[in-house]
């Protein structure tokens, strides 16, 4: 069982796949998956994306750095939103970002984050890495190392890593375990290579799970062999 977990979620978990904004049914599902994890005493941090608001690459009329600023702001909106819905469900949570100042955001301070995690508060990180040209996958890798997470769980729409694209190849086989080196070499796109490379350097394992299968998050944290484990 993992004690401290960094969960990476796409912004689309808040809107439903391909949706925009916030969708109540999707948020209810998210809470149903997270609450049992909190009850086990797992220390949980979340890095949230902004696919439900805007991804920088969608704004082709803007310079990349500016488009990414808007993407990062989207992740902050999601972090504040997620903190609020968790609080509303009785889960103590803080939203952390140093990219903007808001009354409901905590500054990114290691000691305070550590105290929050130790006292069982969920820490939601907004703002990605605070740098343009990166993604929240890379932010998940960086934050996981900062907080000393035992594992990164990447919640996706697929039940793990496949040797070929399962949508195009009937004979695609799921891989239970893969090293970071071969994930990078084989262009496994489930996480970006910057993220894999940081995780490899600091030996943080990643578990890729289908977040939309009920109970998967809890079961992965409890050590059940689901999804794909990516290891150094
Ligand atoms: N972003 C960024 N730097 C980061 C993380 C994110 O500039 O470190 C921007 C980037 O424009 C990205 C957007 O924020 O497209 C949303 O993040 P991401 O695409 O990872 O969201 P997800 O697909 O996970 O919802």
Q: Tell me which residue has tokens 């993407």.
A: 71
Residue closest by Cα to atom 9 of ligand 1: 71
Q: Which residue has the tokens 């997470």?
A: 149
Any idea what the CATH number is for the domain that residue 144 is in?
3.40.1160.10
* E strand intervals along the chain: 4-9, 43-48, 93-96, 105-106, 122-125, 151-156, 161-162, 174-175, 177-179, 206-210, 228-231
Please tell me whether 68 is known to bind a ligand.
yes
**Residue 232 assigned as binding residue:** no
Q: Do β-strands 43-48 and 4-9 pair in parallel, antiparallel, or remain unpaired?
A: parallel
**C-alpha to C-alpha distance for 82 and 183, rounded to whole angstroms:** 31
What angle separates helix 64-88 from helix 24-39, to the nearest 10 degrees?
60
* ipTM computed for the complex: 0.99
What residue numbers bound the domain in which 25 lies?
A: 4-152+214-224
Residue 28 forms part of a structural domain: yes
Q: Is 157 annotated as a binding residue?
A: no
Closest atom of ligand 1 relative to the 11 alpha carbon: 25
Question: 40 among the known binding-site residues?
Answer: no
Contacts of 212 (CB under 8 A, 6+ apart): 29, 157
Q: Please report whether residue 173 resides in a domain.
A: no
Please tell me the total count of domains within the chain.
Answer: 1
Q: Does 200 map to a domain?
A: no
**Residue ranges lining ligand 1, Cβ < 6 Å:** 10-12, 49-51, 55-57, 67-68, 71-72, 74-75, 128-129, 131-132, 134-136, 138-139
Sequential pLDDT tens for the chain (232 residues)? 999 999 999 999 999 999 999 999 999 999 999 999 999 999 999 999 999 999 999 999 999 999 999 999 999 999 999 999 999 999 999 999 999 999 999 999 999 999 999 999 999 999 999 999 999 999 999 999 999 999 999 999 999 999 888 888 899 899 999 999 999 999 888 899 999 999 999 999 999 999 999 999 999 999 999 999 999 9
Per-position DSSP letters for 15-45, written without gaps between them: T-TT--S--HHHHHHHHHHHHHHHHTT-EEE
144 Cα–ligand 1 center, Å = 17
Instruction: Work out the number of other CB atoms within 10 angstroms of the CB of residue 134.
Output: 20
Answer yes or no: is 44 within a domain: yes
- 24 CA to centre of ligand 1 in angstroms: 23
The CA distance from 63 to 138, in Å, is 21
- Is the pTM value of this prediction over 0.90? yes
Residue 22 lies in a domain: yes
Is 97 assigned to a binding site? no
**Tokens (6 digits) for 225:** 């062999």
Give domain status of residue 232, yes or no: no
Testing ligand 1's pocket by substitution, the residue of 18, 26, 58, 75 carrying the most ligand atoms inside 8 A of its CB is 75
Q: Is 180 among the domain residues?
A: no
């Amino acid at each position: 069982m993992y004690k401290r977990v960094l969960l990476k979620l796409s912004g689309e978990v808040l809107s439903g796949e391909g949706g925009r904004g916030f969708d109540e049914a999707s948020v209810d599902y998210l809470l149903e998956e997270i609450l049992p994890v909190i009850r086990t005493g797992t220390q949980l941090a979340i890095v949230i994306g902004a696919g439900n608001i805007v991804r920088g690459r969608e704004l082709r009329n803007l310079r990349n750095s500016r488009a990414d600023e808007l993407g990062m702001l989207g992740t902050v909106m999601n972090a504040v939103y997620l903190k609020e819905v968790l609080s509303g469900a009785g889960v103590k949570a803080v939203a952390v970002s140093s990219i903007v100042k808001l009354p409901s955001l905590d500054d990114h301070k290691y000691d305070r984050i550590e105290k929050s995690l130790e006292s069982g508060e969920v820490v939601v990180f907004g703002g990605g890495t605070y740098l343009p040209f990166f993604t929240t996958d890379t932010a998940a890798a960086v934050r996981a190392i900062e907080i000393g997470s035992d594992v990164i769980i990447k919640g996706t729409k697929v039940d793990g890593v496949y040797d070929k694209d399962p949508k195009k190849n009937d004979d695609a086989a799921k891989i239970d375990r893969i090293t970071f080196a071969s994930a990078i070499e084989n262009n496994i796109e489930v996480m970006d290579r910057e993220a894999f490379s940081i995780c490899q350097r600091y030996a943080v394992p990643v578990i890729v799970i289908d977040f939309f299968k009920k109970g998967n998050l809890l079961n992965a944290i409890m050590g059940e062999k689901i999804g794909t484990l990516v290891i150094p």
